[in-house]
Structure 1
Amino acid sequence: MSTFLNPVVLSVLVLMGLSLARLNVVLALLCAALVAGLASHLTLAQTLDAFSGGLGDGANIALSYALLGAFAVAIARSGMTEWLAGRIIRRLGGHPAPGQLRRVRNLIIIVLLVAAISSQNIVPIHIAFIPILVPPLLGVMSRLRLDRRLAACVLTFGLITPYMVLPVGFGGIFLHIQLGPSLERAGLSLPADQLPIAMLIPGAGMVLGLLLALLRYRKPRDYRPVELPGEEQHARLSRRNVIVAVVALASALALQLYADSMILGALAGFLIFTAGGVVPWKESQDAFTQGVKMMSLIGFIMIAANGYAAVVEAGHQVPALVAAVTGNLHSGPLAAAVLLLLGLFVTLGIGSSFSTIPIITTLYVPLCVALGFSPLATAALVGSAAALGDAGSPASDSTLGPTAGLNADGQHDHIRDTVIPTFLHYNLPLLAAGWLAAMVL
């Protein structure tokens, strides 16, 4: 019973409960932070100071999303998005055959999957592509009656699985900069080429979850036709607009890769659209405001999530939670299951597997060594426990990113249409796969 009274557990339960009750996620995070701080015996002033101190860590990504929203509106005003959607709809015709609808639905799913996977390694821009690629496709997806919960699951799979198993791009950061060095600092040395092997079985669990989502959400779902921000004032597609759009997209991508800054890339793209006349100078303020409105909730959630994480860190209750739960464990199978569940609770609130690894590694490694887990099994446990919160956390960019694109017309609920589906289809298989990896490696 004392485990459930741990401030980390209490705060995560409050966060998930309030989110499921449809309270705004920002307010739910603030309430969870207050519970975490006060239950950790911090004063109200200390809790608020820690929360305020952590807010700045989320400002960069919040501003990035605001600028990406403005960039997406500029693309919509170029006429390219409506042209693309129109071509697909014209190909479907007035009364498309079921087989034709199925082929186009499958094509869109494949495009989203390839784009998400590529964003982790081939073109490492992470979630930056979503507000640009997904909103223009919403009209077509509605015409196809494509269940956006499936689109959310596909995007989340592509944002998480590659970094778990592929040691390039963000996978290189996760495996070789975070996981490997953290294990070594905790006293466990593992060759770098063994880290992807340790994560293969957990990665297979993610694949299983994707297959289950493809089956679960294959049935059509109806959405009402809604005009997206920027479409009502789009420019007529012309050769000039196409050239400006290509230059803007290429410049945004090049600058982001060169400077590792979504802010700089999106800013450059928006300014090129303005300088090229696609967004007239006198309308640039309105276009920028529309983009910020479209992405503002996502930015606020990310800022609040960093404040919550700062309160949890200031309370120093994660080590106490692990000690309380694992103090009497002597069975390897039971210990593996408990450690994975602990990782799930810790990461659900923080929302970032990359940030969680340093926290849990120092706690997990000594226990795994004492219980006789192999180095590969220990790496699989730590990596899986960290990745668990990325799918299914209200504060994870791997769930916030898909929502940012799919909710551009206000018909995709973050909790019920992204968080719950990804939690069920990825966290549960990943729990089982992580446990299996710990047993067989």
Structure 2
Amino acid sequence: MASAVIVSVLVLTIFSLLRVNVIIAILAAGLTAGLMNGESLKDSLDMLINGMGDQASVALSYILLGAFAVSIGYSGITNILVNYLLRVLKDKRTLMVLVIAAVACLSQNLIPVHIAFIPLLIPPLLKLFDQMELDRRAVASALTFGLQAPYVMIPVGFGLIFHQTIQEAMAANGVEVTIPTIAKSLLIPGSGMIIGLLIAVFVTYRKKRKPMQLQPDFQPVKDVADATNSKAGFTKKHAYTIGAILVTLGIQAIWENLVIAALAGLIVLFAFRVVPYRRGDRVMTEGIGMMGTIAFVMLVAAGYANVLTETESVSALVEASSNYMGNNQAVIAFILLLVGLVVTMGIGSSFATVPIVAALFVPICASAGFSPLATAALIGTAGALGDAGSPASDSTLGPTSGLNADGRHNHIWDTCVPTFLHYNIPLFLFGWIAALIL
């Protein structure tokens, strides 16, 4: 049923805005999609559970990265970074946010570790943010920009994977394009995200903001959240910790496997006694506490995506939308991008959305007279739309996992809503323009 995607995404969005736990919201959305397609409650739940296995390795890697971050907190090396930033960037809130955006950009292309750096860098800086009265929504916007804009525009690292996904999906549907062509087609949509970042940093969240009150029942990760309290100098443990980080980054860059990379980093830290063996259980427990939620959200989101795929809800939505398209390219591009926004908001993954929408977009674009360049722009933009702002996206869950380490940051209102407004709107408009002029 064509309306199943729209209604289920509305359920997800409304529940999330009402501060219902995001896992419950995704479960409700998945069951809604199944029921609206004539499936029984049991069958809908079975499809959702069966699809959860698709993200099992990602979930495990997030938990191990959380444990790795906690282990690094034991070494105190982040204290040195924080104290340096205190000296250099004190009272320079805007520069701080731009530096964080730059570091996040490097995590997609130059050192492709994706969100792995967030639990290492952000929690130790939270006390500094509060001292500066820095609006954490600006930091969330900077992190999400760095996690998304580089892979949209630059075909290196995760960007190469994204562009290759578009290339393969278009080739499977009869249109051959090169990687440089795809990169060229996405420069205009990506430019919209740059404008969104500048508006968030220099306009919307420029003013000081008092820290949110700590939730009474929230227990922060002590060794990370209180890292700014220590002023120890550089020691042998810090050198071993840097070695562990380099090992983790190297393995991730070469083998592109976060599980092995995080596990190797943990082994180095334990082998050189940066973390005592007796602290192993505590490290894992605190790691799960830091990243367990995001890991399980990714599992449930994969299950929801499986429900939409198995019931062919997305193809039904596009087919129903085609009745309103006519022959006007502007209208067609607008509707296709709207479909991409709805689908990615629900699935939470731009990479997973591309093959789904490409199978439907390519024949529609060919019959409407769009060039291969314009078609690539539409597919890439439609896939990226919704990645920022989706409650189930790692581009929002990652920033929240770091910014909420002390319980003072709300996932929906402080990460999802700001990133949706500042990135999806300009991405939609610039993607629409690109499809019409290319």
User: Residue 206 of structure 1 is aligned with which of 176, 187, 193?
Assistant: 193
* Alpha-carbon offset, residue 271 of structure 1: 2.4
Task: Decide which moves more: 290-299 or 40-49.
Answer: 40-49
Paired AA for residue 203 in structure 1: G
Query: TM-score, normalized by length of structure 2?
Result: 0.93
State yes or no: 1:140 paired with 2:128: yes
Matched, 1:167 2:155: yes
The alignment status of 1:7 with 2:10, answered yes or no, reads no
Query: CA deviation digits over 1:294-338, x for unaligned, max 9?
Result: 111111111110010111111111111111111242211111111
Indicate conservation of the 8 Å contact 1:388/1:431, yes or no.
yes
Equivalent in the alignment of 1:70:
67
Say if 2:44 is the partner of 1:47: yes
Deviations 1:228-269 (A, max 9, x none): 432569996552211221111111112222332212222222
Over 3 Å counting, the alpha-carbon distance change for 1:88 and 1:318 in structure 2 is closer
Say whether 1:298 aligns with 2:294: yes
One-letter amino acid of the structure 1 residue matched with residue 173 of structure 2: A
Of 346, 349, 353, the residue aligned with 1:352 is 349
Per the normalisation by structure 1, the TM-score is 0.92
How far apart in 2 are the matches of 1:291 and 1:225?
23
Cα gap change, 1:166 to 1:52, in 2 (>3 Å): same
2:319 aligned residue: 323
Whole-angstrom CA distance in 1 between matches of 2:170 and 2:252:
31
**8 A contact 2:213–2:408 mirrored in 1:** no
How many angstroms does 1:188 deviate by? 1.9
Partner of 1:119: 107
Instruction: Say whether the 8 Å CA contact 1:142–1:224 is kept in structure 2.
Output: no
Identify the match of residue 254 of structure 2 among 252, 258, 263: 258
| Amino acid paired to 2:161 | I
In 2, the alpha carbon distance for the partners of 1:163 and 1:238 equals 35
> Against the structure 1 CA distance between its residues 149 and 23, is the aligned structure 2 distance closer, same or farther, given a 3 Å change threshold?
same
Q: Among residues 270, 276, 301, which one is paired with 1:274 in the alignment?
A: 270
Give the alignment partner of residue 180 of structure 1, picking from 155, 167, 175: 167
1:341–1:225 distance in 2 versus 1, CA, 3 Å = closer
Label 1:259 to 1:188 Cα distance change in 2 as closer, same or farther (>3 A): closer
Q: Which runs of 5+ in 1 are unaligned?
A: 93-99
> Secondary structure at 2:222's aligned position in 1?
coil
Cα distance, 1:394 vs structure 2 = 0.7
| Residue of structure 1 in register with 2:222 after alignment | 229
Does 2:304 correspond to 1:308?
A: yes
1:85-164 to 2 correspondences below 5 Å: 85-89=82-86, 91=87, 101-103=90-92, 105-164=93-152
- In the other structure, the counterpart of 1:244 is 240
Q: For the Cα contact (< 8 Å) 2:112–2:252, is it kept in 1?
A: no
Matched, 1:216 2:212: no
Alignment-derived partner of residue 96 in structure 1: none
Once residues 12 and 370 of structure 1 are traced to their aligned partners in structure 2, the CA distance between those partners, rounded to angstroms, is 29
CA–CA separation in structure 2 for the residues paired with 1:42 and 1:69: 37
Q: Separation in 2 of the partners of 1:237 and 1:303?
A: 41
Distance (whole Å) between structure 2 residues aligned to residue 86 and residue 363 of structure 1: 52
**2:395 counterpart (372, 391, 398):** 398
Q: Could you tell me whether the CA contact under 8 Å between 1:139 and 1:225 is conserved in 2? A: no
Letter aligned with residue 308 of structure 1: Y
For residues 170 and 400 of structure 2, the distance between their equivalents in structure 1, rounded to whole angstroms, comes to: 33
| Shift in CA distance, 320/224, structure 1 to aligned 2, threshold 3 Å | closer
Q: Secondary structure at the match of 1:230?
A: helix
Match of 1:190 in 2: 177
Tell whether the 8 Å contact from 2:52 to 2:300 is kept in structure 1 after alignment: yes
- Name 2:217's counterpart in structure 1: none
Using the alignment, how far apart are the partners of 2:168 and 2:397 within structure 1?
28
CA deviations over 1:173-202 (Å, ceiling 9, x no partner): 111x21112112212222332111111110
RMSD, matched Cα: 2.0
Question: Do the aligned partners of 1:79 and 1:237 also contact (CA within 8 Å) in 2?
Answer: no
Q: Aligned match of 2:406 in 409, 418, 421?
A: 409
* Displacement after TM superposition at 1:117 (Å): 1.0
Counterpart for residue 339 of structure 1 = 336
Paired residue for 2:57, among 43, 49, 60?
60
Letter in 1 for 2:177: L
SS of corresponding position for 1:218: coil
CA distance in 2, matches of 1:262, 1:363: 32
Deviates more, 1:391-400 or 1:282-291: 282-291
1:88 positional shift: 4.0
CA distance in 2, matches of 1:42, 1:167: 40
CA distance in 2, matches of 1:123, 1:305: 26
Task: Using the aligned pairs only, state the percent identity.
Answer: 46
Measure the CA separation in 2 of the matches of 1:111 and 1:323. 44
Q: 1:243 to 1:101 in 2, by over 3 A?
A: closer
TM-superposed deviation, 1:111: 2.6
CA deviation map 1:36-57 (0-9, x unaligned): 0111112222212111111111
In the alignment, the residues of structure 2 paired with residue 64 and residue 418 of structure 1 have an alpha-carbon distance, to the nearest angstrom, of 22
In the alignment, is the contact (CA less than 8 A) between 2:221 and 2:290 conserved in 1?
Answer: no
- Structure-2 change in CA distance of 1:18 and 1:265 (3 Å): same
